[in-house]
Amino acid sequence: MINVIELFAGVGGFRIGLEASGGFDVVWGNQWEPSQKAQHAFNCYARHFEGKGIHSNEDISSVNTQIFQNQSIDMIVGGFPCQDYSVARSLNGEKGIQGKKGVLFWEIIRLMKETNPKYVLLENVDRLLKSPSKQRGRDFSIMLASLRDLGYSVEWRVINAAEYGQAQRRRRVFIFATKNETPYVFNRRHFNESQMIHEEGFFAKAFPVQEGISTKKKPQSFIMKKDIVEISDEFSMNYYNAGIMRDDLVYTEAVIPEEEAPKTLGDILQSDVDDKYYLSEAAIEKFTYLKGPKKIERTSATGHQYVFSEGGMSFPEPLNKPGRTMLTSEGTINRSSHVVEDPQSKKLRILTPVECELLNGFPENWTEGMTDRMRYFCMGNALVVGLIERMGKRISEIEKENIDGNQVELDLVFETDTK
């Protein structure tokens, strides 16, 4: 079994996917929402996984890593917030965080230092690759450099879940890091970076892409600077939707997925839903305005006049396509909420909490027991479980290779010593 620590666990999307793929034991999971007294997500997580591992409901920065000393931690997973990762040098020359916004990523690094896992799998919004806007790619570069300094090779891919058979057009960046001394890394040293992305790497096997290299967005490569503070102060980079870092060499390439037929919004709709999900005439009127095209004259704080414009959206949603990206405001009267025409009643309604769970690939009624508002919120924060299940199967393949590879290396050493 691969022993796992799950960080920023939410309602357990990573864990559901890994357990469905088999071979994983989540020995410790942490979920804490600092802005709320009621810990709805944690309670949901603890209820479903009762008796399986330790469930932590505390600020990750207060976790004492000594609790992992007698455990063999193979892997850390987590979907962490996209924040400010800038660093600065203190008066005594040490590197530190500039401000408080970037602390959560550094907590991942802290736990990695203490547990030394073979694998790390992280998820974030795809704008991470471009943040901050005034120094594009800086934050992701700091992350890459930090992982390199701990002795990891890193692969990343932006994945739209609907392009790989899922029911939601949810685009997220996934980051897979593995220790440099593993057979998985060693066995692929003779493959170049593009071959890793297209054929031999972590994501290539689970999420195939089309052959050939883009002529419009030519691949880029560079040597990552050693000084992380210098990266924070000066470095910028235009990262594409796929890439790899081995040692100091970083390579990024724009790839096109080999698309699979997705589930559709119509596939996940329930029948005989409660009347409370149907829209009143007043709500229909508000949605019609919010989702329609508009041009509005506005005046900025400095007195500058301009025209704000936005295009129209499908209203109601097409049922023969996957759903759009769910946000935490799902179910409220706003532009991003899904509105569907119920196939039975032919009336307009919002999605039910169960339908939102199904959009993310969760079991039905996973978040039952919370208010509807919190159920929508939790699903807006969650990831698509089916993607994690595929990644789990790929990690299991790599684990087998690492175990078999280690045995081969030990045999060679033994043969050499006895000659």
What is the set of domains in the chain, with CATH numbers?
Answer: 2-260+384-409 (3.40.50.150), 265-381 (3.90.120.10)
Looking at residue 82, its pLDDT comes to 63
| Residue keyed to tokens 């891919």 | 157
Confidence of residue 109 (pLDDT cuts 50, 70, 90): very high
Nearby residues of 409 by Cβ (< 8 Å), 6 or more positions away:
183
**Structure confidence at residue 81 as a pLDDT band (50, 70, 90):** confident
Statement: residue 292 has pLDDT above 80: yes
Mean pLDDT (the chain) is 90
Q: Confidence band (pLDDT; 50, 70, 90) for 211?
A: very high
pLDDT at 100 over 60: no
Q: Is the pLDDT of residue 413 over 50?
A: no
pLDDT value, residue 371: 96
pLDDT of residue 373: 97
Residue 230 has pLDDT above 70, yes or no: yes
> Is the confidence at residue 406, as pLDDT, over 80?
no
CB 10, CB 384: distance < 8 Å: no
> What pLDDT does 31 receive?
96
Summarize the confidence of residues 270-299 as an average pLDDT: 95
| pLDDT tens digits along 111-158 | 999 999 999 999 999 989 998 888 899 889 999 999 999 999 999 999
- Residue 85, pLDDT score: 53
pLDDT level of residue 419 (50, 70, 90 thresholds): very low
Going by pLDDT thresholds of 50, 70 and 90, the confidence category of residue 414 is very low
* Average pLDDT for 36-45: 92
More confident residue, 313 or 69: 313
Average pLDDT of the residues in 362-369: 97
139-to-113, 192, 269 alpha-carbon distances in Å: 20, 26, 39
Please list the alpha-helical segments (H only) found in 4-100: 13-21, 40-48
Q: Say yes or no to pLDDT of 97 above 70.
A: no
pLDDT at 6 over 50: yes
Cβ–Cβ under 8 Å, residues 130 and 88: no
**Active-site positions?**
82
Answer whether residue 359 shows pLDDT above 90. Answer: yes
Torsion, Cα 37 40 42 44, to 10 degrees, reads: 160
Structure tokens at 336: 């991003």
- Are 170 and 330 in contact by the 8 Å Cβ rule? The answer is no
Model confidence at 102, in pLDDT bands (50, 70, 90)? low
Burial of 91 (0-12, 13-18, 19+ CB in 10 A): exposed
Among 84-88, 348-352, 376-380, 383-387, which stretch is predicted with the lowest mean pLDDT?
84-88
Is a pLDDT exceeding 90 seen at residue 412? no
Q: How far is Cα 175 from Cα 250, in angstroms, rounded to an integer?
A: 14
